Amino acid sequence: MSDAFDRDGDESVTGDGRDAPVQERTFAALPPARGRGFAETWWGRAWLKALEDTALDGQQLKQGRRFAREGRVGALSVRPGRITAVVRDRDSSAYRSDVLLQELSEADWERFLDMAAARAGYIAALLDREMPPHLVEDAAAAGMELLPGIGDLDPECTCGTWDHCPHTAALCYQVARLMDENPFVLLLVRGRGERRLLGELQERIAARAEGWAPSGSAVSCDGSGGSAEKAKDRGVRADEAFAARDILPPLPAPPPLPAEPGPAPSLGTETEPEPGVDPSALELLARDGAARAHRMLADALSPGHEQQPPPAGLTPQQDAVRLVADARPEPWIATRLAVGSGRSRAGLDAAVRAWQYGGAAALTVLDEEWTPDPQTLARARAGLAAAWEEGEQPRLRSAGNRWTSVDGGVQLRYGRDGRWWPYRKESGRWVPAGPADDDPAAALGGPCGSDG
C-alpha closest to that of 136 among 168, 169, 104, 106: 104
Write down the pLDDT at residue 420: 95
Write down the pLDDT at residue 143: 84
pLDDT band at 286 (very low <50, low <70, confident <90, very high): confident
Highest mean pLDDT (candidates 169-178, 202-211, 386-395):
169-178
Write down the pLDDT at residue 81: 94
Structure-model confidence comparison of residues 99 and 301, the more confident one: 99
Q: What CA–CA distance (Å, rounded) separates 384 from 440?
A: 6
- The separation between the first and the last C-alpha atoms of the chain, rounded to the nearest angstrom, is 80
Could you tell me if 146 and 190 are in contact, meaning their C-beta atoms sit under 8 angstroms apart?
A: yes
Convert the pLDDT of each residue in 241-257 to its tens digit: 666 666 566 677 877 88
**DSSP calls for 315-375:** PHHHHHHHHHHHH---HHHHHHHHHHTT--HHHHHHHHHHHHHHHHHHHHHHH------HH
Q: What CA–CA distance (Å, rounded) separates 387 from 442?
A: 8
Q: What CA–CA distance (Å, rounded) separates 363 from 353?
A: 9
C-alpha closest to that of 284 among 323, 250, 249, 254: 323
Write down the pLDDT at residue 121: 74
Mean residue pLDDT across the chain: 82
Convert the pLDDT of each residue in 406-417 to its tens digit: 877 899 999 999
pLDDT band at 448 (very low <50, low <70, confident <90, very high): low
Write down the pLDDT at residue 195: 86
pTM score, whole prediction: 0.48
Is 90 exceeded by the pLDDT of residue 32?
no
Q: Give the residue-averaged pLDDT of 224-246.
A: 56
The count of other CB atoms within 10 Å of the CB of residue 163 is: 13
Convert the pLDDT of each residue in 171-180 to its tens digit: 999 999 999 8
Q: Give the residue-averaged pLDDT of 259-279.
A: 78
Residue 63 DSSP code: H
Q: What CA–CA distance (Å, rounded) separates 12 from 78?
A: 11
